[in-house]
Amino acid sequence: MKHSGYLTTSGAEIYYEQYGSGTPLLILHGNSQSLAVFYPFLRTFLPDFQVILMDSRGHGRSRLSVHTALHGFSTEDMADDVIALLNHLHLSSVHLLGFSDGANIGLEIACKYPERLKTLICISANASPDGLLTPLHLAAQMLHSILNLLGNLLLPVLKSSFSSASASSGSSAVSALSTPKVSLPFQKNLSVSATSAVCADKERQCHFGSIFPRIPAEQKKKPDFLTRLTHRVLRRRNLTSLLLHSPRLSARKLQTISVPVLLIAGTRDLIKPSHSRWLARQIPTSRLLLMTGGRHTSIFRTPAPYLRAILAFLRRS
């Protein structure tokens, strides 16, 4: 039996799905994915677990407030979304399985909210951006620069689309976006005092989808090309920022983790094998499984060895 819904958190509106009954298992997807990537895994877990899937902020059917879209977000913010969802579902603790950014979110939770986890399974996790392979990190920096330029060029379109979304939802026009001091898209420590008034106390009425804002049912007109392009640029800029700026988990933080942790990575992963080994050394309760020849997305291409290891770990716990 499936239950789905939306939950409003600080700066986002989170979509989730809930299946079955039993011990809760929350599964988190990676950067640029959605919860749908784990649909093929449901039959593996449903006999024994209640499975909860969610679209992380800025992904899938989850939405960002205008303020969050302008300022960006981190894996720590995404971890807070998870805790808000657990509270909403009245779940005191869960098993958590995360892939890539989802695994990083799991590490954030293990450090900040350890009491909310029974166990943590991390597929291709990194505790800091320098855990990524150097070519990937350089490519992300180049893409970041291009998107930053495009964001500045498209600022007038951004203002227009936000104003339309605000008007359709009953909030005031987004006049603050015309201030020339605004630099888009959102550097990590961006100081944009001019945008603080954007949907100031009506933030929940004016949301981003993964590509363009939610349109009221009575307004069926499709956003024009420039509006859709602008929102694609904003979305991609936010997701690239995650690669460059999140997470930032120090050895000291990782050493406080007390829940049982299974780390799985591939020897041909986008995460440096040396970083995966370092991560395992820092987490006192962890076990590392390095898949020979495994790539970043091998769990979706050849899932059988991953699922065997995950189920064995869950049953032991």
pLDDT band at 36 (very low <50, low <70, confident <90, very high): very high
pLDDT level of residue 255 (50, 70, 90 thresholds): very high
pLDDT the model gives residue 165: 54
pLDDT(251) > 90: yes
- pLDDT, one tens digit per residue, over 128-179 is 999 999 999 999 999 988 988 887 787 676 666 655 655 554 443 232 232 2
Nearest-CA neighbor of 289 among 262, 259, 254?
262
Q: What is the mean pLDDT of the chain?
A: 83
For residue 291, name the pLDDT band (cuts at 50, 70, 90): very high
pLDDT confidence of residue 153 = 82
**Is the separation of the CB atoms in 19 and 4 below 8 Å?**
no
pLDDT band at 228 (very low <50, low <70, confident <90, very high): confident
pLDDT at position 78 is 98
pLDDT, greater one: 221 or 186: 221
Least confident range of 15-19, 121-125, 144-148? 144-148
The CA angle 275-308-85, to the nearest 5 degrees, is 70
pLDDT at 39: 98
Question: Which residues lie closer than 8 Å to 235 by C-beta, 6 or more apart?
Answer: 58, 208, 210, 211
CATH architecture of the domain covering 2-62+75-133+249-316: 3-Layer(aba) Sandwich (3.40)
Q: Where are the domains of the chain?
A: 2-62+75-133+249-316, 137-245
Task: Point out the least confidently predicted range of 1-15, 77-91, 99-113, 202-216.
Answer: 202-216
Query: For the ranges 107-116, 172-181, 246-255, 280-289, which has the lowest average pLDDT?
Result: 172-181
Instruction: Enumerate residues 6+ apart whose C-beta is below 8 A from 110.
Output: 117, 120, 257, 259, 261
Greater pLDDT, 172 or 219: 219
